[in-house]
């Protein structure tokens, strides 16, 4: 029994979050270990210099973070590069009080940034030791580290990792981590396959090197054994010669016993290294091979932060090449440069509403809510329109807020936007759910009315929204948003932060604006904007020029080539970024544009093949693989194609590189339920692939929501366990939960499925779990999570449903909630506890 409980507990701890791997880098004595300890809440720990690394597990919202704190002494820094393939992002720590080492720190960071595996990975910088009088502020650390030209997404947080006695942990540490996780979250869909594939490629490379080393050692040992044998034989012959002399040439029979004493041929194997080769690896390498394995010193800290937003899978792309459909309520498109006919509004999942309909977003998400909202707008309903709160109470579920608000804003459903805003703005803050975000999404869709409403919610930051409008080809709306900013500035209101940081912000925003215009507007508009906002100097900064030209190359406007040529004449270079941009376009344009660019001397690299893999452009991949100057990682391309369901690309790569492993592709095809691709992969894997069909693969499949996929995997003998329930609950798939129970999948005793439903505030899933008889898990765990994150009505429901309560833990979570976030809700919940 104890074993069962302890298994449940272990399982509960092993939450099925998305995983991120981070490395903490920085010079020795910068405070890396102290920062990691502080984030874990271990503020009293004294640190000693780190040799090798420490690893810790953290939680931030839905993410499980494996953090590797590496030693920063000069002699150890060379091993940093071994970790970079396997990390999603890095935390770089600087001792802000030690200006004498800024230059050394800059160089160390520069080396990291130049590593091929660091491309597009976010970087969080902590300017540590702000308690010391000599500490430089964040802006000074930025310029001393040379971050102003850094192409990776980055942010700097000043902090004090080592608090004075009795003081709480510096909140900026968590804030920084939250920023970093948010940045990774935004690109997780593309970054994660790359990280997995790069990690796999590096592991394979190391495996090959290990085998080569073993082979070398084996040969050396064989050679030594052969020499020994020869020496023995020679000695034996010499003995025989001696005997012959003594016995008158009749000592030949003596040879036999001597030869038998030499080691028999198979005895050589005794000298070979064991199959795992452990004894032949240098100790240092063994240490760092541990990166991908379960490592010691793993410390779990409970996830106390709100879940992060999920990727906007529902939102349609804004950059497809289809001609624009002019939505009602949008400003007339620009007449200049042929922009008007091509300024694409998003090919929305939902059309604009008639009357006061709620956003008809993803049915799975909105189903029950939608009917309540429809009632809300029905004039014949004698009971009158219920308030949003009443509707939510009646239905018992919130739509997944970020998805629905995005869809409503992009498609111009003003009333739905207002309704959703009213409902969510009182909730705890949530990454991505901001007025600025709504404005930007609405601007991207050219939705003027929604923009006007959103401008009442926030009035300062409109350049990003203007850029989104430009990207969608909505030039008049873009102008309007830019002028709004001007008016605000003239009116004396503060625009953005002060000083250096403000200047950097403006530079970044204008670069973003021009890049968006290069994508979505015609040449005439681009030229006009360039004149007003473009760089003053003759030669634009390289990164700026590269990005803007790449945007023009991948543009949906018919005059894309004219834009590229015009930008080239302004000093913007043709680069690998442009090649990658066009390689990911729909098939015919991709090849045509890539050849056009290459004919003008445009370089290309592996990223173009990855982009082509993501778009399913097999012929572009085949072309790139033939090019002498392009290094294509077939494994990475294959992984990307698999996650996007491009079976033909997998087939092509499999023919070109028959030895490519398939397991990674299998893992990546599962979350989006790419059924055809999966069927092909399973076929190819055949009997030998049975090992890949484990319970974690099934867990991931449960998160896809596809019962068909689950059926397919079970047919092929895939293993399953209780984690599947948790994953299905996390993504709100009631149908999958029902299916699992009906088929007899072992139900977990961890309570984790409830915890996910609580994070998502998904009452229907909570009800479903209760109906299926899912156990609550270790006493009080589920309730405590609810007390920390849920609205009062969910807590009330849990009490009614008989959820076990650990009163002490609940009160502690409530106190924290009251202090950090929403005190009134905490108070309401406290009154329920009596
Ligand atoms: N005053 C002050 N001291 C700090 C702060 N953070 C860390 N320290 C101290 O700085 C020293 C080095 O901290 P560590 O965390 O061990 O540094 P590290 O970056 O991990 O160093 P290596 O492991 O050698 O690479 C320790 O004495 C810490 O107590 C801070 O915010 N303020
Ligand atoms: Mg350390």
Answer yes or no: do 264 and 376 share one domain: no
| DSSP-derived secondary structure letter, 460 | S
3-state secondary structure 310-333: CCCCCCCCCCCCCCCCCCCCCCCC
Lookup: tokens for 231:
């020496």
Which of these three, 239, 260, 281, is where a domain ends? 281
CA-based nearest residue to 544, from 522, 566, 520, 577 = 577
Q: 28 labelled as ligand-binding? A: yes
Answer yes or no: do 137 and 53 share one domain: yes
pLDDT score of 302: 27
DSSP reduced 3-state for 567? helix
Q: Which atom of ligand 1 is nearest to the CA of 30?
A: 19
Q: Which atom of ligand 1 is nearest to the CA of 28?
A: 25
Q: 576 labelled as ligand-binding? A: no
190, 143 contact by CB (below 8 A): no
Q: At what angle do helices 388-395 and 414-424 cross, to 10 degrees?
A: 80
* C-alpha span between 77 and 52 (Å, rounded): 10
pLDDT score of 75: 75
Give per-residue pLDDT as tens, 189-210. 788 888 988 888 888 777 777 7
CATH number of the CATH domain containing 374 = 1.25.40
* C-alpha span between 834 and 830 (Å, rounded): 7
Q: Count CB-CB contacts under 10 A for residue 260.
A: 8
| Dihedral, 652, 658, 661, 664 alpha carbons, nearest 10 | 0
Nearest ligand, CA of residue 158?
A: 1
CA-based nearest residue to 713, from 747, 731, 735, 689 = 689
* C-alpha span between 112 and 92 (Å, rounded): 10
pLDDT-derived band of residue 611, with 50, 70 and 90 as boundaries? very high
Residue 89 Cα, ligand 1 centroid: separation in angstroms? Answer: 21
Name the closest-CA residue to atom 9, ligand 1.
Answer: 31
Give per-residue pLDDT as tens, 362-371. 333 333 343 3
| Dihedral, 779, 782, 785, 790 alpha carbons, nearest 10 | -140
668 in any annotated domain = no
Arithmetic mean of pLDDT, 720-740: 94
Answer yes or no: do 88 and 171 share one domain: yes
Q: In what order do the strands lie in the sheet with 63-70?
A: 53-60, 63-70, 18-25, 89-95, 123-128, 154-158
pLDDT of 353 strictly over 50: no
623 in any annotated domain = no
Q: 800 labelled as ligand-binding? A: no
779, 804 contact by CB (below 8 A): yes
Answer yes or no: do 344 and 226 share one domain: no
Q: Which atom of ligand 1 is nearest to the CA of 76?
A: 25
Answer yes or no: do 158 and 182 share one domain: yes
pLDDT of 274 strictly over 80: no
Nearest ligand, CA of residue 54?
A: 2
- Share in percent of the chain as helix, strand, coil (round to 5): 60, 5, 35
The parent domain of residue 263 ranges over: 219-281
pLDDT-derived band of residue 506, with 50, 70 and 90 as boundaries? low
pLDDT of 247 strictly over 60: no
Q: Which atom of ligand 1 is nearest to the CA of 132?
A: 1
pLDDT of 352 strictly over 80: no
597 in any annotated domain = no
pLDDT-derived band of residue 811, with 50, 70 and 90 as boundaries? very high
* C-alpha span between 583 and 569 (Å, rounded): 23
Nearest ligand, CA of residue 30?
A: 1
DSSP reduced 3-state for 20? strand
pLDDT-derived band of residue 82, with 50, 70 and 90 as boundaries? confident
521, 324 contact by CB (below 8 A): no
Q: Which residue has the higher pLDDT, 549 or 295?
A: 549
pLDDT score of 464: 85
Residue 187 Cα, ligand 2 centroid: separation in angstroms? Answer: 29
Pocket test for ligand 1, best of 47, 48, 93 (most atoms within 8 A of CB): 47
Name the closest-CA residue to atom 13, ligand 1.
Answer: 31
* C-alpha span between 463 and 514 (Å, rounded): 11
Q: Which atom of ligand 1 is nearest to the CA of 71?
A: 25
96, 133 contact by CB (below 8 A): no
Give per-residue pLDDT as tens, 307-338. 322 222 222 222 222 222 222 223 333 333 32
Looking at the chain, the whole-number percentage of residues with pLDDT higher than 90 is 39
DSSP reduced 3-state for 470? helix
678 in any annotated domain = no
User: How many Å is the maximal CA-CA distance in the chain?
Assistant: 129
Q: 412 labelled as ligand-binding? A: no
pLDDT of 432 strictly over 90: no
* C-alpha span between 816 and 552 (Å, rounded): 50
297 in any annotated domain = no
Stretch (H or E) spanning 294: none
* C-alpha span between 100 and 563 (Å, rounded): 47
Answer yes or no: do 764 and 811 share one domain: yes
Residue 31 Cα, ligand 2 centroid: separation in angstroms? Answer: 7
Q: 29 labelled as ligand-binding? A: yes
Name the closest-CA residue to atom 30, ligand 1.
Answer: 129
Q: What are the start-end ranges of the H helices in 431-522?
A: 435-444, 448-457, 463-471, 475-490, 499-520
| DSSP-derived secondary structure letter, 307 | P
pLDDT score of 635: 87
CA-based nearest residue to 26, from 181, 132, 223, 161 = 161
pLDDT score of 147: 84
Q: 40 labelled as ligand-binding? A: no
Answer yes or no: do 44 and 82 share one domain: yes
Q: 72 labelled as ligand-binding? A: yes
Residue 71 Cα, ligand 2 centroid: separation in angstroms? Answer: 5
pLDDT-derived band of residue 244, with 50, 70 and 90 as boundaries? low
* Chain centre distance of CA 607: 17
Q: 454 vs 328, 353, 435, 705, CA distance in Å?
A: 18, 18, 6, 34
Give per-residue pLDDT as tens, 100-112. 999 999 999 999 9
CB-based pocket (< 6 A), ligand 1: 26, 28-34, 47, 49-50, 71-73, 93, 128-129, 131-132, 160-162
Q: 430 vs 333, 407, 707, 821, CA distance in Å?
A: 34, 17, 31, 12
Nearest ligand, CA of residue 32?
A: 1
CATH number of the CATH domain containing 53 = 3.40.50.300
Backbone angles phi, psi at 157, to 5 degrees: -120, 125
Residue 47 Cα, ligand 2 centroid: separation in angstroms? Answer: 7
612, 624 contact by CB (below 8 A): yes
Across 83-92, 160-169, 231-240, least confident range: 231-240
Residue 87 Cα, ligand 1 centroid: separation in angstroms? Answer: 23
Residue 69 Cα, ligand 2 centroid: separation in angstroms? Answer: 7
100 in any annotated domain = yes
Residue 654 Cα, ligand 2 centroid: separation in angstroms? Answer: 44
User: Please, what sign has the CA dihedral across residues 480, 482, 488, 492?
Assistant: negative
Q: Which atom of ligand 1 is nearest to the CA of 161?
A: 31
Arithmetic mean of pLDDT, 150-158: 89
* C-alpha span between 624 and 631 (Å, rounded): 8
pLDDT score of 544: 85
Nearby residues of 780 by Cβ (< 8 Å), 6 or more positions away: 804, 805, 806, 807, 809, 810
Locate tokens 């969080």: which residue?
124
| DSSP-derived secondary structure letter, 397 | B
116 in any annotated domain = yes
Burial of 176-201, coded b for 16+ CB within 10 Å and e otherwise, reads: bbbbbbbbbbbbbbbbbbbbbbbbbb
Q: 129 labelled as ligand-binding? A: yes
Q: Which residue has the higher pLDDT, 180 or 302?
A: 180
Lookup: tokens for 650:
């997998």
* C-alpha span between 758 and 64 (Å, rounded): 17
Answer yes or no: do 232 and 189 share one domain: no
Highest mean pLDDT out of 143-152, 478-487, 572-581, 671-680: 572-581
3-state secondary structure 332-357: CCCCHHHCCCCCCCCCCCCCCCCCCC
531 in any annotated domain = no
Residue 70 Cα, ligand 2 centroid: separation in angstroms? Answer: 7
Q: Which atom of ligand 1 is nearest to the CA of 37?
A: 15
Q: Count CB-CB contacts under 10 A for residue 472.
A: 30
Q: 3 labelled as ligand-binding? A: no
Lookup: tokens for 526:
């681009």
DSSP reduced 3-state for 59? strand
Answer yes or no: do 321 and 269 share one domain: no
23 beta partners: 68, 90
Give per-residue pLDDT as tens, 778-793. 889 999 999 988 889 9
Which of these three, 504, 521, 546, is where a domain ends? 504
pLDDT of 477 strictly over 70: yes
Pocket test for ligand 1, best of 75, 162, 164, 176 (most atoms within 8 A of CB): 162
Answer yes or no: do 185 and 262 share one domain: no
Residue 52 Cα, ligand 1 centroid: separation in angstroms? Answer: 16
Give per-residue pLDDT as tens, 630-677. 988 888 899 889 989 999 999 999 999 888 888 888 888 888 888 999
Lookup: tokens for 119:
């491309």
CATH number of the CATH domain containing 822 = 1.25.40.20
| Dihedral, 548, 550, 556, 558 alpha carbons, nearest 10 | 90
599, 623 contact by CB (below 8 A): no
Q: Which atom of ligand 1 is nearest to the CA of 170?
A: 31
Q: 647 labelled as ligand-binding? A: no
Give per-residue pLDDT as tens, 380-406. 333 333 344 444 444 444 555 556 777
Backbone angles phi, psi at 94, to 5 degrees: -125, 135
CA-based nearest residue to 97, from 47, 65, 137, 41 = 137
Q: 47 labelled as ligand-binding? A: no
Looking at the chain, the whole-number percentage of residues with pLDDT higher than 70 is 73
The domain total for the chain is 4
Name the closest-CA residue to atom 22, ligand 1.
Answer: 28
* C-alpha span between 418 and 28 (Å, rounded): 51
126 beta partners: 93, 157
Answer yes or no: do 129 and 261 share one domain: no
Residue 288 Cα, ligand 1 centroid: separation in angstroms? Answer: 23
Q: Which residue has the higher pLDDT, 545 or 232?
A: 545
Arithmetic mean of pLDDT, 213-236: 73
Answer yes or no: do 194 and 319 share one domain: no
DSSP reduced 3-state for 70? strand
Q: 50 labelled as ligand-binding? A: yes
* C-alpha span between 464 and 434 (Å, rounded): 13
CA-based nearest residue to 583, from 605, 608, 560 = 608
Nearby residues of 173 by Cβ (< 8 Å), 6 or more positions away: 35, 38, 39, 126, 157, 159, 161
User: Please, what sign has the CA dihedral across residues 521, 527, 529, 533?
Assistant: positive
292, 415 contact by CB (below 8 A): no
Residue 693 Cα, ligand 1 centroid: separation in angstroms? Answer: 45
pLDDT score of 236: 67
Average pLDDT of the residues of the chain: 75
What is the Rg, in whole angstroms, of the alpha carbon atoms belonging to the chain?
31
Q: What are the start-end ranges of the H helices in 396-446?
A: 401-410, 414-424, 435-444
Name the closest-CA residue to atom 11, ligand 1.
Answer: 29
Name the closest-CA residue to atom 16, ligand 1.
Answer: 47
Query: What counts of helices (H) and strands (E) characterise the chain?
Result: 37, 6
Q: Which atom of ligand 1 is nearest to the CA of 50?
A: 23
Which of these three, 235, 263, 281, is where a domain ends? 281
pLDDT score of 636: 86
Burial of 112-124, coded b for 16+ CB within 10 Å and e otherwise, reads: bbeeebbeebbbb
């Amino acid at each position: 029994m104890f074993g069962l409980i302890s298994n449940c507990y272990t399982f509960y701890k092993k939450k099925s979050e998305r995983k991120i791997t981070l490395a903490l880098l920085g010079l020795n004595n910068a405070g890396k270990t102290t920062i990691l300890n502080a984030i874990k809440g271990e503020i009293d720990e004294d640190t000693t210099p780190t040799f090798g690394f420490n690893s810790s597990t953290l939680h931030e919202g839905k993410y499980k973070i494996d953090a590797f704190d590496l030693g920063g002494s000069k002699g150890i820094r060379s091993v940093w590069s071994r970790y970079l393939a396997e990390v999603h992002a890095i935390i770089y720590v600087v001792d802000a009080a030690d200006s004498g080492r800024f230059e050394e720190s800059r160089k160390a960071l520069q080396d990291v940034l130049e590593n091929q595996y660091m491309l597009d990975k976010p970087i969080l910088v902590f300017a540590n030791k702000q308690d010391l009088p000599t500490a430089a502020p964040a802006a000074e650390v930025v310029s001393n580290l040379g971050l102003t030209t850094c192409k990776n997404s980055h942010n700097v947080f000043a902090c004090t990792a080592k608090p004075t006695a009795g003081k709480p942990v510096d909140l900026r540490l968590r804030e920084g981590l939250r920023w970093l996780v948010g940045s990774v979250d935004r690109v997780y869909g593309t970054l994660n396959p790359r990280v997995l594939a790069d990690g796999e490629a590096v592991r394979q490379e190391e495996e090959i090197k290990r085998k080569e080393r073993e082979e070398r050692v084996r040969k050396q040992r064989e050679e030594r054994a052969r020499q020994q044998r020869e020496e023995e034989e020679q000695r034996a012959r010499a003995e025989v010669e001696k005997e012959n002399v003594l016995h008158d040439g009749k000592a030949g029979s003596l040879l036999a016993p001597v030869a038998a004493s030499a080691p028999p041929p198979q005895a050589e194997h005794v000298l070979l290294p064991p199959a795992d080769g452990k004894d032949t690896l240098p100790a240092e390498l063994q240490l760092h091979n541990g990166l991908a394995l379960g490592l010691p010193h793993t410390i779990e800290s409970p996830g106390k932060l709100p879940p992060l937003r999920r990727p906007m899978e529902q939102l349609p792309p804004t950059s497809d090449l289809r001609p624009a459909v002019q939505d009602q309520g949008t400003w007339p498109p620009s007449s200049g440069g042929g922009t008007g006919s091509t300024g694409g509004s998003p090919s929305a999942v939902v059309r604009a509403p008639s009357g006061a309909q709620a956003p008809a977003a993803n049915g799975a998400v909105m189903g029950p809510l939608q009917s309540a909202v429809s009632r809300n707008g029905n004039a014949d309903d004698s009971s009158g329109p219920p308030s949003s709160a009443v509707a939510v109470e009646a239905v018992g579920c919130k739509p997944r807020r970020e998805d629905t608000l995005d869809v409503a804003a992009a498609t111009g459903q003003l009333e739905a936007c207002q309704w959703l805003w009213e409902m969510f703005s009182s909730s705890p803050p949530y990454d991505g759910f901001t007025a600025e975000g709504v404005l930007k999404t609405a601007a991207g869709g050219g939705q003027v009315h929604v923009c006007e409403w959103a401008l009442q919610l926030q009035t300062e930051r409109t350049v990003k929204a203007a850029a989104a409008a430009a990207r969608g080809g909505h030039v008049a709306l873009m102008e309007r948003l830019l002028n709004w900013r001007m008016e605000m500035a003239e009116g004396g209101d503060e625009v953005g932060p002060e000083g250096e940081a403000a200047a950097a912000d403006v530079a970044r925003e204008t670069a973003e604006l021009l890049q968006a215009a290069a994508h979505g507007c015609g040449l005439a508009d681009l030229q006009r904007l360039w004149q007003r906002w473009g760089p003053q100097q003759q030669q634009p900064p390289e990164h700026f020029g590269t990005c803007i030209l790449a945007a023009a190359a991948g543009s949906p406007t018919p005059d894309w080539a004219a834009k590229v040529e015009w930008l080239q004449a302004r000093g913007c270079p043709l680069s690998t970024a442009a090649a990658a941009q066009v390689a990911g376009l729909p098939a015919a344009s991709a090849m045509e544009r890539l050849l056009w660019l290459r004919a003008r001397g445009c370089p290309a690299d592996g990223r173009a093949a990855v982009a082509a893999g993501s778009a399913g452009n097999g012929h572009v991949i085949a072309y790139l693989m033939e090019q002498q100057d392009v290094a294509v990682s077939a494994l990475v391309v294959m992984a990307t194609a698999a996650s996007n369901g491009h079976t033909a690309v997998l087939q092509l790569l499999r023919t070109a590189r028959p030895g490519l492993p398939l397991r990674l592709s299998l893992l990546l095809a599962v979350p989006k339920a790419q059924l055809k691709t999966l069927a092909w992969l399973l076929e190819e894997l055949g009997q030998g692939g049975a090992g890949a069909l484990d319970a974690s693969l099934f867990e991931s499949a449960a998160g896809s929501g596809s019962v068909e996929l689950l059926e397919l995997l079970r047919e092929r003998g895939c293993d399953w366990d209780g984690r599947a329930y948790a994953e299905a609950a996390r993504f709100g798939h009631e149908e999958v939960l029902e299916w699992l129970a009906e088929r007899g999948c072992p139900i977990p005793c961890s309570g984790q499925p409830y915890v996910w439903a609580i994070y998502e505030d998904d009452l229907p899933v909570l009800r479903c779990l209760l109906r299926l008889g899912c156990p609550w898990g270790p006493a009080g765990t589920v309730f405590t999570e609810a007390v920390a994150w849920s609205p009062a009505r969910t807590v009330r429901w849990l009490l009614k449903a008989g959820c076990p309560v650990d009163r002490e833990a609940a009160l502690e979570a409530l106190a924290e909630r009251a202090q950090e976030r929403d005190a009134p809700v905490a108070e309401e919940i406290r009154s329920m506890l009596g």
